[in-house]
Amino acid sequence: MTRIIAGHAGGRTLLTPSGSTTRPTSDRVREAMFSRVEALMDLGGSAVLDLYAGSGALGLEAASRGASVVWCVESDRSAARVVERNARALDLVGVEVAAARVERWLERTPSQPAFDLVLADPPYHLSEDDIGAMLALLSPHLRPGALVMLERSSRSPAPAWPPGWSVAKSKRYGQTGVHLAGPGGAEQV
């Protein structure tokens, strides 16, 4: 069972896509991710981008904790419909859902408004080159001082972040590796 950890909708359960290839982020990992994020920034009023959204658990968690704008991008149309249903059921405002491939969405969507926080949970089988290409496309969509949190298999190598990004230490949670970086100064991460 996947649930919202904290905030306005804390404790409420989420629907998860059935028969989908999505892999929900465990409650334990999500709690650790948001603990780190909230130590670095105030989510209140922030703009958040949830890439490879699956059930929307990461983006909806951010909305529950005060983010005012949350975009969830998911290529699987049935999973995107689940994100929409979850947002409505939790009465979370400011949540937008795009049923699109992440790369296409980043290429076609204007970079304004820019995002303060990006939560990316790509399929583990996505190659490091594909991850690097996605991160390069993401750069123009980020506000100065933005944070990018990337979830990968703990067996995957550390991501090749774009030049000029500040990189924080990665953390392992069982089979999950969480990597944090952002464009610009190291004071943010």
Using an 8 Å Cβ cutoff, are 53 and 42 in contact? no
Rounded to an integer, the average pLDDT of 146-152 is 95
Rounded to an integer, the average pLDDT of 25-43 is 89
User: What is the per-residue pLDDT across 38-93, written as a single tens digit (0 to 9) for each?
Assistant: 999 999 999 999 999 999 999 999 999 999 999 999 999 999 999 999 999 999 99
Rounded to 5°, angle at Cα 137 from 134 and 142: 110
Q: Is the pLDDT assigned to residue 114 strictly greater than 70? A: yes
pLDDT attached to residue 21: 61
Using an 8 Å Cβ cutoff, are 156 and 126 in contact? no
pLDDT attached to residue 95: 97
For tokens 């981008």, name the residue.
Answer: 49
Domains and CATH numbers, the chain: 2-16+43-183 (3.40.50.150)
Global pTM exceeds 0.85: yes
